[in-house]
Amino acid sequence: MRVLITGAAGFLGSHLCDRFLAEGHSVIGMDNLLTGNTRNIAHLAGSPDFRFIRHDVTQYIYIAEPLDAVLHFASPASPIDYLKLPIQTLKVGALGTHNTLGLARAKGARFLLASTSEVYGDPLEHPQREDYNGNVDAVGPRGVYDEAKRYAEAMTMAYHRFHGVDTRIVRIFNTYGPRMRLDDGRVVPNFIGQALRGEPLTVYGDGAQTRSFQYASDLVEGIYRLLHSDFSDPVNIGTQDELSVAEFARLVNDLTGNTAGITFRRDERIKGDPQTRRPDSTRARTVLGWQPVVPLRDGLERTIAYFRSVL
Ligand code: UDP
């Protein structure tokens, strides 16, 4: 297969490039480097099956070669990124999804959209099943990301139903691993960075809010299976390893040997920060035969080693 991956220089995009190349496919990676970094794909330079194009997917995309699949992973994805880049976030979810779908249609390629657990907003149902419609505040600070991805899902289904494009939608839950940006503001790089510097971990609010953390390779496996399935409705990919943010902070301090403790920052929680988040993964299990295999402690140890090497 020849696949186009947008957001290729980002955290997840770069891991997907690696996986498709390892499976013997040919990959075109596209990124405008707004939040991505070529460091993440530097090891692919010179590979005969990989080509990088610096391009903003909100502009018309021209690819000469035939394509078998288009995976749309370009987007600012951490809360502080999309608060800083609200218009670009809306544009890449809206115009970027339209352009990548148009490209997939023109090439007769399969299309896979990176969607998010944020489509459930601050959920009133727990855990979140794919048929839960969510509790999103369109005009809150997170609305730019949540609504962009909800629009992207609607656009994807419209191309599927109206144009017959073969489409897939993955709803990605919190994912961590090597190549996350140390300064992207998310809880995993923030905590590990603080711990490795011997600083107290900053827990926003009272730390009772929960997240379920999956290791990047588990997510990539789920995405790879989804692309090769024939299932066009959204599929959650995430773990059942649900922890409160305060528990997560204690775990990071424990694994790094950080003795500086935890500081609670009651004022820093962004409005709309979901109180709970955990996927119902029945669909991924039954449709894809997928389940995560990397235990949280192992994944965190590998991620800590990575951040040590970049610090
Ligand atoms: N968080 C925190 N301290 C930090 C960064 C994040 O307590 O230094 C909290 C944040 O308020 C949220 C959770 O950790 O409740 C996960 O935040 P993240 O930015 O990783 O992404 P989200 O899951 O909210 O999209």
The DSSP bridge partners found for residue 243 are 211
**Whole-model pTM above 0.85?**
yes
Ligand 1 is surrounded, with C-beta below 6 A, by 78-79, 174, 185-187, 190, 202-204, 209, 211, 245, 269, 273
8 A C-beta contact, residue 239 and residue 291: no
The whole-angstrom separation of Cα 295 and Cα 213 is 10
Residue whose CA is at the smallest distance from ligand 1 atom 18: 186
Q: Which CATH architecture fits 187-208+242-277+299-310?
A: Alpha-Beta Complex (3.90)
**Closest ligand 1 atom number to CA of residue 203:** 7
Residue for token pair 């191309």? 159
Query: Would you write out the chain's pLDDT as a tens digit for each of its 311 residues?
Result: 999 999 999 999 999 999 999 999 999 999 999 999 999 999 999 999 999 999 999 999 999 999 999 999 999 999 999 999 999 999 999 999 999 999 999 999 999 999 999 999 999 999 999 999 999 999 999 999 999 999 999 999 999 999 999 999 999 999 999 999 999 999 999 999 999 999 999 999 999 999 999 999 999 999 999 999 999 999 999 999 999 999 999 999 999 999 999 999 988 888 899 999 999 999 999 999 999 999 999 999 999 999 999 98
From ligand 1's centre to the CA of 197, what distance in Å?
19
Q: Which CATH architecture fits 2-177+214-239+280-293?
A: 3-Layer(aba) Sandwich (3.40)
- Give ranges for CATH 3.40.50.720 in the chain: 2-177+214-239+280-293
From ligand 1's centre to the CA of 50, what distance in Å?
34
What length does the chain have? 311
- Give ranges for CATH 3.90.25.10 in the chain: 187-208+242-277+299-310
Q: C-alpha distances in angstroms, 230 versus 67, 149, 210, 252, 287?
A: 18, 22, 32, 39, 9
The whole-angstrom separation of Cα 265 and Cα 115 is 29
